């Protein structure tokens, strides 16, 4: 009788550990980026920033609305 209880407990523990491992593998976030951000340079001041934060006018990028309104700066 004790052998039967031992084997039932062992199988239950193995099943529980397997489910816990399987669930943790499914919910682990993926560390790779789907679409990495591109860094762009402000046409006015030259600051580099991610393109999702920059403002675009034609083919030029700007870091703020003020720089967009002022236009391109002088070449450095």
Mind listing the pLDDT tens digit for each residue in 27-76? 666 556 666 789 999 999 999 999 899 999 999 999 999 999 998 876 55
Q: What is the pLDDT of residue 23?
A: 81
Across the range 3-18, mean pLDDT stands at 95
Tokens representing residue 23 in the block: 């669930």
The two most distant CA atoms of the chain are separated, in Å, by 89
Tokens representing residue 49 in the block: 């920033």
Decide: 61 and 54 in contact? Cβ < 8 Å: yes
Q: For the stretch 43-59, what's the b/e string if a residue is b when 16 or more beta carbons lie within 10 angstroms of its beta carbon?
A: bbeeeebeeeebbeeee
Q: What is the pLDDT of residue 75?
A: 57
pLDDT at 24 over 90: no
Burial of 61 (0-12, 13-18, 19+ CB in 10 A): buried
Domain parsing of the chain, residue ranges? 39-70
Where residue 21 falls among pLDDT bands split at 50, 70, 90? confident
């Amino acid at each position: 009788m004790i052998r039967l209880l031992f084997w039932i407990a062992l199988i239950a523990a193995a099943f529980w550990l397997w489910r816990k491992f399987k669930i943790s593998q499914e919910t682990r976030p993926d560390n790779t980026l789907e679409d990495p951000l591109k860094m762009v340079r402000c046409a006015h001041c030259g600051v580099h920033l991610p393109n999702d934060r920059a403002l675009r006018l034609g083919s030029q990028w700007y870091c703020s609305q003020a720089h967009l309104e002022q236009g391109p700066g002088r070449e450095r």
